Structure 1
Amino acid sequence: MTDSHFVLRLTLVVSFLGALPLSRDTLTTDFLIIGGGVIGLSIAYELSGHGNRVVLIDKGEVGREASWAGAGLLPPANQQHAWEPTEQLRGLSHHLFPLWSQQLQAETGLDNEFEITGGLYLARDPGEAASLRMACLQYEEEGVEVVRLDGQQVAQQFPHVQAGDAILAACFLPGEAVVRNPRHLRALEMGCRRRGVEIFPQTEIKRWSFDDDRLTAVETETGKFAAQAVCIAAGAWSQVLADRLLDQEHFSGRIQRPEIEPIRGQLVLLDAGKRFFMAPINEGIRYIVPRRDGHVLVGATVEEAGFDKSTTPEAVDDLDRFARQLVPQLATAKHVRAWAGLRPASVDRIPYLGKLPHLANVYLAAGHFRSGLHLSPATAVVMAQLMSGQEPEVDLTPFRVNRA
């Protein structure tokens, strides 16, 4: 047998064994991450990068929920001028994203298409114009570069945008970036595996085992997992998991619970054939994001629809019409498809980052709403520090789970 044939047969055997259910009673590790979206994968990637043993489980496929469904917009921030913790978290992520993108490509060979493109912001409604002006003031206070524009300047500098005299406020943020989130998720998953993270998709939790205030084991259909520390990072499903975890007689009546609800966002994908503009266009809650290959992503709705991920004809038509009217060159673009994702939103729209009350070794990283992808590198860093017993470089008091 040649060496190449031996390697091929060995690879097939390893692949086959990797697909089998767990035969061991308990898999013991340093850290267990529950949830395989961008937050969970990022935390696993960061922890494993410091030599820790990490296991990640997900009830479905890894990276296929809200993290995959979003647009990949990365608004600008300024880490040096950030003084308030939420600003510091944004600033840290803004600093880390290009570094992580380069590192992931070096480790995996996958390009997540991170680009600093700038972002155009428009308002044609009086209420949205007032909100945009306030946002510009906040950006400037944080040391972020803001270029204010009038309607004529928009027409001159962005000729593909046809809004006429309807523009009441506009600005350009040169520091805004984009990433192609499905590719970023693939790179994160591969990066985790290369760093030794054991990933188990299609692994749903059935029950929990405790020793006083410590979670000693997570039981699934395929086996048990035990870890020194456990982090719930399951996006919109984190509330369900936290409730199940805390709905134990052991904790009855003692727990202040986090509150996370799913917020549906519908999106449309068009194919323009080639990219003819660089900067995403933002208006209110909607946006138009060009990709390198000529695809254009149009989003998004903000709907309280429970865990319903279906699309509606009305929303799809509205998004399609919005893009083609604002950018007439998209009039002949092919409609590729539409989909929806469920954003995990806390009541105050600030993520939960911290330890679950009354539990010694269980943490929560969820509730990022529309900023999960954007805040994922910084969330990973501060959660890895917290779970490892270090002082997080961002004060997590505003993000504490029992802040209500």
Structure 2
Amino acid sequence: MSKQHTMIIGGGIVGCMTAMELINRGHRVTIVERNQIASQTSGESSWAGGGIIFPLLPWMYSEAVNTLTHNSASFYRELTQRLAQETGFSSDFAQSGFLLLPKFDLNAAQDWCKRNQVSFQPVKASAFGVASPSGDDGLWLPSVCQIRPPYLMQGLRKWLEQHNVAMLEHTQLKPLEESDELKAWQTTSGETLRADQFVVTSGAWSFDLLKETSAKLNIKPMRGQILLYKPAKNLEQMVYREGFYMIPRLDGYLLAGSTLEDVGFDNGVTEDVREELRIKAETIMPELKGEPIIKHWSGLRPGTPENLPTIGAHPTIKNLFLNTGHFRYGLTMAPASAKLVVAIMSGTLPAIDPTPYACAY
């Protein structure tokens, strides 16, 4: 008996995680990617993001977002160990902790941590060797982890190759038209791609693919720019202040970002933002003054209201499913999102209630 063939549209972290979950359930999988899977030059958010496995200010998000991020965060330690053992790729997973600097609602933050059993400690920012212009009272979350997105993507790609996942790269699809069932999807170069089921995981590009169907996605690209340093003495923990984060890597590099820019599909970088990010980084870590900026890049996130993704069946096309629109937390939500959409596809009871994630079509 032949395996059910599932085609995934989009080869970012969400698409690769969905493919992994389908393989674990015995599917034959093809990924269709408009650029190259695990490429660092495509402009997608999967490789470009910081890799903090935590939703920054979770007390400001809905229960649905926090459920997805929580269920995913607990999975990454196991996943990265598995990828290292089976592919030889390290994802640089590290429990480096998260220092939150003012201004923020300290009471709301502590209440949320207590309710969700997240370790926390009120601290003085100066004790961590960082400057805090808005006040010295910070919050230390020691259990927060990070991962290196490009390394994770390389490991995922290798694992999928080892499990015979077909990868149709540099392949762009035409927007779908409304129908009862999707039997084939046409590429812009005239090819016809067939499968038993289809899953759209194409992030910021999902809207254009589905805009002529009844799935009215509220997704648009949001650019984020990041700087890279390699300071003589690095931070020992991740630091966040008023929308800006700094992430020390295991090999001595330091990320500083990021922005939220509504500029369409422009994945370029700008001198104004470079200067803005430099000043913010030096404000927190004065030792960076005079340090060279090694790299400056951007990625396009799939922006959605309240960071809420769409996970579930298409409202009218019966063998088409959606797992898209994760905004800033594609990496943070990816494992739980993959398990959820595959459970919905298979008709089994999901581990987490899918109702909050259904988009209002």
User: Does the alignment reach a TM-score above 0.5?
Assistant: yes
SS at match of 2:182: strand
Change in Cα spacing, 1:236 to 1:136, as seen in structure 2 (3 Å) is farther
Give the structure 1 partner of residue 97 of structure 2: 118
For the residue of structure 2 that corresponds to 1:196, the secondary structure is coil
Task: Tell me which residue corresponds to 1:386.
Answer: 344
Corresponding position: 1:343 with 2:265:
no
**2:69 aligned residue:** 90
Question: How far off its partner does 1:256 sit?
Answer: 5.0
CA distance in 2, matches of 1:331, 1:209: 54
Q: 1:281 aligns with which of 218, 239, 255?
A: 239
Per-residue deviation at 1:62?
1.5
**What's the offset of the Cα at 1:169?**
4.0
Structure 2 SS opposite 1:318: helix
Residue of structure 2 in register with 1:140 after alignment: 114
Q: How does 1:155-194 map to 2 (within 5 A)?
A: 155-156=126-127, 158-159=128-129, 161-163=130-132, 166-167=134-135, 169-194=137-162
- DSSP-derived class of the 1:177 partner: coil
Contact in 2 for aligned 1:93/1:378 (Cα 8 Å): yes
**Residue in 1 aligned with 2:27?**
52
Paired residue for 1:260?
219
Shift of 1:207: 6.2
Q: Displacement of 1:325 after TM fit?
A: 2.6
Contact 2:55 2:329 in 1 (8 A): no
8 Å contact kept, 2:175–2:211: no
How far does residue 287 in structure 1 lie from its aligned partner after superposition?
0.5
Aligned positions of 1:197-216 closer than 5 A:
197-206=165-174, 213-216=180-183
Partner of 1:6: none
> In structure 1, what is the Cα distance between the partners aligned to 2:63 and 2:271?
42
Determine the C-alpha separation between the residues in 1 that align with 2:317 and 2:210: 11
Cα offset, 1:76, TM superposition: 7.6
Quote the Cα distance in structure 2 between the aligned partners of 1:368 and 1:217. 26
1:222 Cα deviation after fit? 6.6
Decide whether the 8 Å contact of 2:176 with 2:210 is kept in 1. Answer: no
Q: Which runs of 5+ in 2 are unaligned?
A: 57-61
AA matched with 1:178: Q
Helix, strand or coil: the match of 2:217?
coil
Indicate whether 1:231 and 2:231 are aligned. Answer: no
Aligned partners of 2:176, 2:312: CA distance in 1, in Å?
A: 20
- Indicate the SS of the match to 1:192: helix
Kindly tell me: are residues 84 and 163 of structure 1, through their superposed partners in 2, closer, same or farther at Cα, counting changes over 3 Å? closer
CA distance in 2, matches of 1:168, 1:368: 33
Q: What's the counterpart of residue 129 of structure 1?
A: 104
Q: Distance in 1 between matches of 2:209 and 2:216?
A: 11
SS at match of 2:119: coil
Superposed CA deviations along residues 65-94 of structure 1, whole A, max 9, x for unmatched, are 1111100011289xxxxx954433222112
CA displacement at 1:208 relative to structure 2: 5.0
- Structure 1 equivalent of residue 186 of structure 2: 219
User: Partner residue of 2:59?
Assistant: none
1:85–1:394 contact (8 Å) kept in structure 2: no
Q: Name the counterpart of 1:376.
A: 334
1:39 aligns with 2:14: yes
The count of corresponding residues between Structure 1 and Structure 2 is 349
State the percentage of identical aligned residues.
30
SS of alignment partner, residue 335 of structure 1: coil
Q: Is the 8 A contact 2:234 2:253 kept in 1?
A: no
Question: How many angstroms apart in 1 are the aligned matches of 2:352 and 2:286?
Answer: 44
Aligned to 1:348, the other structure's residue is in SS state: helix
What is the alpha-carbon distance in structure 2 between the residues aligned to residue 39 and residue 344 of structure 1?
Answer: 12
- Residue in structure 2 matching 1:154, options 125, 130, 133: 125
CA distance in structure 1 between the partners assigned to 2:55 and 2:76 by the alignment = 11
| Conserved 8 A contact 2:225-2:297 | yes
The offset of 1:359, in angstroms, is: 1.2
Give the C-alpha shift of residue 319 in structure 1.
Answer: 0.6
Report the Cα offset of residue 29 of structure 1. Answer: 5.8
Partners of 2:242 and 2:48 lie apart in 1 by 19
SS of residue in 2 equivalent to 1:265: strand
TM-score, length-scaled by structure 2? 0.91
Provide the rounded CA distance (Å) in 1 between the counterparts of 2:170 and 2:48: 19
Please, which runs of 5 or more residues in structure 1 have no aligned partner? 1-27, 78-82, 247-254
Distance 1:85 1:209, change over 3 A: closer
For 1:368, the aligned partner's letter is H
